[in-house]
A = this chain, B = another copy of it.
Amino acid sequence: MIIVKNIEELLKHTKNLDSVGFVPTMGALHQGHLSLIKRARDENRTVIVSIFVNPTQFLEGEDLDKYPRRDLADIEICKRADVDILFMPTVESIYFEDELRVEAPAIRGFILEGSRRAGHFNGVLQVVMKLFNIILFNRPKSLRAYFGKKDAQQLALISQMVKDYFLNVDIIPCEIVRDSSGLALSSRNAYLSADEVKEALAISRSLKRASKLVMQGVLDTSTIEREMRDVMKNLDIEYIAFVNRDFKKIETIELKNSTILVACIVGETRLIDNIWI
């Protein structure tokens, strides 16, 4: 595995590539990331993983400084997962002074995550567009980029960016990975105490409850939401939302075209989860 810290170095190692699988991450890798890397490994000649805690997607007062950083462990994980190139750029190599910015559309960018975290998605799109272009710079034959469904809104916006700006990248959505108790894996789970982990389980339980209701034929979202709130009655719920794959809000579940999303605060940690129905 080659570890590169800046773009010039990366470009030396990306000449004449055939199929490339790219997994952009913020590090603190867990089984969720690993599932993306494994799939990238299965489907491509070259696997590139990036680790970059992107400052522009953290808002004032958010956890940029305390965001978990575990470079040595991450490097080991990538080595064992047979990653070809691990790209760990410095902030200075990605960002310049007085930059052009990308602005997420209001309709998908400033609801839910984007409403509580105004500007968050602008930063996500900015860095993902840069990273895609860096990997595309030397014209690989194909580029597939792997994203978890856990960040469903992010995934929808990145897919839209690829379409709106004609980027020749295949976005591959990957299943949410959960621990044995059902908790969706997240780097931010590291912030949770043992008690908080137990409390947090109500989130995935509420989504399972929702899924069961849908299977029983309950498609009305307000009924489903009521039952979900009941399951999460001890949690500080930020939102429960029902959207179609286009990320437009729905009143009635459309089978194979709906996502139910939850955001909660557990202790001081904000957790999100969702289910695709």
Contact = CB atoms under 8 A, between A and B. Distances in A.
Contact of A100 (B7, B134, B165): B165
Interface in A126-178: 129-130, 133-134, 136-141, 157, 160-161, 163-168
A7 B167 CA distance: 13
Q: How many copies does the complex hold?
A: 2
Contacts of A164: 96, 99-100, 130
A137 to B, nearest CB: 5
A76 interface: no
Contacts of A157: 100
Interface residues of A, number: 34
A161 B102 contact: no
Interface in A50-106: 96, 98-106
Contacts of A134: 166
Contacts of A107: 98
A166 B100 contact: no
B98 A166 contact: no
A179 to B, nearest CB: 34
Contacts of A140: 139
Given A130-B165, A166-B7, A104 B100 contact: yes
Contacts of A109: 100
A41 interface: no
A156 to B, nearest CB: 12
A125 interface: yes
B160 A100 contact: yes
B136 A168 contact: yes
A34 to B, nearest CB: 27
A164 B7 CA distance: 12
Nearest to A103: B101
A102 B105 contact: no
Interface in A233-257: none
Report, nearest first, the 7 A-B pairs whose CB atoms are least far apart. Answer: A139-B139, A133-B166, A98-B105, A98-B107, A101-B103, A137-B168, A134-B166
13 contacts: A96-B163, A96-B164, A98-B105, A98-B106, A98-B107, A100-B104, A100-B105, A100-B157, A100-B165, A101-B103, A130-B164, A133-B168, A139-B168
Given A98-B107, A103-B103, A134-B166, 10 more contacts: A7-B166, A98-B105, A98-B106, A99-B105, A99-B164, A100-B104, A100-B109, A100-B157, A133-B167, A139-B140
